[in-house]
Chains A and B, each alone.
Chain A
Amino acid sequence: MDDRRRRFEAQALPHLDAAYNLARWLSRSPVEADDIVQDAMLRAFRAFDGFRGGDIKAWLLTIVRNCWLSAGKATRRRGHTSLEDEELTAPESDPEATAIQSGAKRRVDAMIAQLPEEFREVLILREMEDMSYREIAEVTGAPIGTVMSRLARARATLRETARDCL
C-alpha cells in the first residue's frame, strides 16, 4: 500500500468515530454526517503532507467542523432534524430497565440537540471527546476565554432545561 495512505490510515482512522460523532451532533442528521465525514477525511488526506505532527484528533475535528460549516449552511436553515430516526438499540435482558434507560437517553439527546450550535459544539468536544480547552479552542477557532464562557452557558442551559423537564 502507498506509504502516505498507510500512515494516514494508521493515524487518522482511529479517530473516525470522534469525527462522525461530532459531524452527527453538529448536523443532527445521519445522512449529512456521512457526507461531512467523507468529505472531511478526503480533505484531510489531501492535506496530510501539510500536517506537521501535533494533535491529529484536533486537526481532524477542525476539518470536520469546517466541512460542516461549508456544506451545511443552506440545509441547516431548514431547522431541527428529528431525532426519530435513531438507530435501533441493542436488545437487553430487562425490557423495563431498557425502557427507562432509553427514555433518559432520548431526553438527554434531545436537550443537547436543542442547544445553539456554538454551545453544542463545545459541549460535545468537552464532555464526549474529553478534549482540553486548548484543543477545543483549536477546533472551533475561538479563544480559550470564549470556549470557557460558552461551555458555562451550555451547561447552565442544560441544567435549566433539565429542571423544567422534571
Chain B
Amino acid sequence: MSCKEALQTQAYLDGELKGAEAAAVERHLETCAECQALAADAADLSDALRNATHYRAPDPLRHRLKKELEREVRHSPARRFWQGAASGVGASALAAGFALFVLLPPSAATLSQSIVDAHSAALTGGKTIMVASSNHHTVKPWLAAHAGISPPVTDFADQGFTLTGGRTDEVAGSRAAVAVYAHGNHEVDLFAWPANGAQLPEAGIARGFRMAFWKSGDLNYAAVSDVDAVAFQKFVALVKAQRE
C-alpha cells in the first residue's frame, strides 16, 4: 500500500465517512488507480468473507449459562431496588420518570424502549418468525389476518435484505405487524402499528441495536437491527421508497 489516502479510502468503503470527507474520497477515487483497485478488492473480499463461518452459541452453553446466572442470583446478597433508588437524586429522578410515564403514554422513550424490548425478546426467545416465507403474497395477508394491520411488504433480496417471514408483536400496548428480514447473519425487524398521534423517537442506538422511526399514511414504522449504519440506512431508504 503506497497511496497515502489508502486508509481514508478504506474508511470510506467501511461506511465510516460522511459529507465532505466522503466527497473528498470519492474525488480521489476518480483518479487514483491504486485506490480503485483497493475498492474492487474490498468488495471481492467482503463477498468471500460472507462464506466464513459465523459461529452461534451452542444450546448446551445457553442452558448452562441460564443455570449459572440463577445460581449467581441466589448466592449474592439480596439487593433492594429501593435502597439505591430512594437515596437522593435517584428518588427524584425516579419520581419524575414515573410521573412522565403516567401522564404521557406512550412517550417517545417508551416507544423506543418497547421496540428494543420486543426485538430482543424475539431474538432471545428464538420466536422472531411466526409465518416463514420469502413471498410477500404470503406474509402480507398473514399479517393482515393476525395483526389486523396490512403494511406494504416487499422482498428486498436483490438489495441484500431477504424477506424471511413475519410475526405479530406489541409496541407500547398496540398490536403491531412485524416483517422480518435477513441481512447476512443479522436480522432486521420492520414494525408497523396504527399511528395514534404519539410523538415518534429520534433514530438512534439502544442496547446495541439501531432504530429508526417514521410515519407513513396512517401507520407508524420502526426498523430495528444490529446491522452496520450503512446497511441500516439502506434498508430504511428501501422500505420508505417501496410502493403500496
Within 8 Å of chain A (Cβ to Cβ): is B81? yes
Tell me if B72 and A42 are in contact (CB < 8 A): yes
Closest B residue to A24 by beta carbon equals B55
Within 8 Å of chain A (Cβ to Cβ): is B198? no
Interface, chain B (partner A; CB < 8 A): 1, 6-7, 10-11, 14, 16, 41-42, 45-46, 48-49, 51-58, 61-62, 64-66, 68-70, 72-73, 79, 81, 117, 119-121, 123-124, 185-186, 205, 207-209, 226-229, 231
Could you list some 13 contacts between A and B, CB below 8 A?
Answer: A5-B70, A11-B120, A14-B209, A17-B55, A20-B57, A34-B58, A86-B53, A104-B51, A130-B227, A132-B16, A151-B10, A152-B10, A159-B41
Q: Which listed residue (A56, A128, A151) contacts B54, Cβ 8 A? A: A128
Q: Which listed residue (A11, A55, A130, A152) contacts B231, Cβ 8 A? A: A130
Tell me if B45 and A5 are in contact (CB < 8 A): no
B205 contacts which chain A residues (CB < 8 A)? 55
Tell me if A13 and B124 are in contact (CB < 8 A): yes
What mask results when residues 4 to 34 of chain A are scored 1 for a CB within 8 Å of chain B, else 0?
Answer: 1100111101111111110011000010011
Within 8 Å of chain B (Cβ to Cβ): is A65? no
Tell me if B56 and A17 are in contact (CB < 8 A): yes
Dominant secondary structure at the A interface: helix
Within 8 Å of chain B (Cβ to Cβ): is A148? yes
B45 contacts which chain A residues (CB < 8 A)? 155, 158-159, 162
Tell me if B120 and A133 are in contact (CB < 8 A): no
Residue from the set A11, A14, A130, A149 with the largest chain B CB neighbour count within 10 Å:
A130
Closest B residue to A153 by beta carbon equals B1
Known: A20-B57, A34-B58, A156-B1. A56 touches B208 (CB 8 A): yes
Tell me if A8 and B207 are in contact (CB < 8 A): no
Closest B residue to A130 by beta carbon equals B228
In whole angstroms, how far apart are the Cα atoms of A149 and B117 in the complex?
37
Q: Which listed residue (B16, B56, B207) contacts A11, Cβ 8 A? A: B207
| Shortest distance from the beta carbon of A104 to any chain B beta carbon, whole Å | 5
Known: A108-B49, A158-B45. A130 touches B226 (CB 8 A): yes
Interface residues of A in 80-126 (CB under 8 A from B): 86, 101, 104-105, 108-109, 112, 123, 126
Tell me if A15 and B52 are in contact (CB < 8 A): no
Tell me if B52 and A21 are in contact (CB < 8 A): no
B58 contacts which chain A residues (CB < 8 A)? 20, 30, 34
What mask results when residues 134 to 166 of chain A are scored 1 for a CB within 8 Å of chain B, else 0?
Answer: 000000000000001101100110110010000
B226 contacts which chain A residues (CB < 8 A)? 15, 18, 57, 130
Tell me if B186 and A101 are in contact (CB < 8 A): no
In whole angstroms, how far apart are the Cα atoms of A138 and B52 in the complex?
24
Tell me if B72 and A21 are in contact (CB < 8 A): no
Residue from the set A2, A34, A109, A162 with the largest chain B CB neighbour count within 10 Å:
A2
| Shortest distance from the beta carbon of B37 to any chain A beta carbon, whole Å | 10
